[in-house]
Amino acid sequence: MNTDVIISCAVTGSGDSVGKHPDIPITPEQIANAAIEAAKAGAAIAHCHVRDPETGKPSRRVDLYEEVVERIRASDTDVIINLTAGMGGDYMPDPNDPTKGIEGTDLVNATERMAHVEKIKPEICSLDCGSLCFGDGLYISTPPMLRQMAKRIQELGVKPELEVFEMGHLRFANQLIAEGLVDAPPLYQICLGIPWALGADPDTMRLMRDNLPAGANWFSFGIGRHQMPMAATAAILGGNVRVGLEDNLYLEKGVFASNRQLTERAVELVRLLGGRTLTPGEAREKLGLKAR
């Protein structure tokens, strides 16, 4: 059991959730406000994607990331900013010619995936540690891409959040550490319930945890209705917790959630399990983040 739990809130994500929820954060102002509200509710980390303000579709525009971060920092709300670096890996093959990508494909090189991290230098950025079937398409992150990204993240002094969706991803993340491309202490995010990757259940989470290197900090989440059960499981198994509208839209069946409400519920879960949630300052020390 982890009695000193860090809560991360993933406030919007890149999924097709606009139109499925009345208040998905879309504009930089909305995304920043969601991060600030989550922080005030007890999240030490805000994990942020950006969306096209006109369409709500996922975006990689550096100026949108800059506005989100500037708004959060200008609010004087203390929260660790974790920016995704996973955009640019989506491939939707044409059923009649799989060598061609159709709508939904956004496939760019490692340098382009890192443009906003280069400019902003957040405290944390995610690194999706392998390719996988993601819904009806593919997410592509090859070992050479990942080595290039990990090396540059290290040079920038940013902490990579090693996102693992499969056991092979965890093996490769461990290899990055063995090659000296990730500084101690490493930070992992065990991602559960994504179609069609790891399932969201305690045995799977335990298996992943048992293959982490000594001294690693780790988080885990489950999507949809698995969010809170997996949050509790992560704390019980010694990890930290991620919640938020990126992963789950509902507070309970038929009741839409906000990032604030999901964070508050996670804080309460930790309290009921006999633990406490760490402040951003305490989380920085635990995660070994470099001063900004």
pLDDT tens profile 93-150 = 999 999 999 999 999 999 999 999 999 999 999 999 999 999 899 999 999 999 999 9
Q: What is the mean pLDDT of residues 163-192?
A: 98
Query: Is a pLDDT exceeding 80 seen at residue 34?
Result: yes
Residue found by looking up tokens 């525009």 in the block? 61
SS3 content of the chain, % helix, strand, coil (to 5): 35, 25, 40
Query: Is a pLDDT exceeding 80 seen at residue 238?
Result: yes
Average pLDDT value for the chain: 97
pLDDT at residue 135, rounded to an integer: 86
Q: What is the mean pLDDT of residues 159-167?
A: 98
Cα dihedral across residues 282, 120, 117, 248: positive or negative: positive
What string of DSSP letters covers 60-79? --HHHHHHHHHHHHHTT---
Residue 91 forms beta bridges with which residues? 138
Q: What is the mean pLDDT of residues 174-188?
A: 98
Residue ranges covered by each domain of the chain? 4-287
Contact 44/6 with Cβ under 8 angstroms? yes
Topology annotation, domain 4-287: TIM Barrel (3.20.20)
Categorize the per-residue pLDDT at 199 as very low, low, confident or very high, splitting at 50, 70 and 90: very high
The conformational region for residue 76 under phi > 0 = left, psi -120 to 50 = alpha, else beta, is left
pLDDT at residue 292, rounded to an integer: 66
Percent of the chain predicted with pLDDT > 70: 99
pTM of the complete model: 0.97
Q: What is the mean pLDDT of residues 34-47?
A: 98
pLDDT in tens, 242-282: 999 999 999 999 999 999 999 999 999 999 999 999 999 99
pLDDT at residue 202, rounded to an integer: 98
Integer CA distances (angstroms), 52 to 14, 18, 49, 60, in order: 10, 11, 10, 9
Q: What is the mean pLDDT of residues 8-35?
A: 96
Residue found by looking up tokens 């093996």 in the block? 171
pLDDT at residue 220, rounded to an integer: 98
pLDDT at residue 290, rounded to an integer: 79
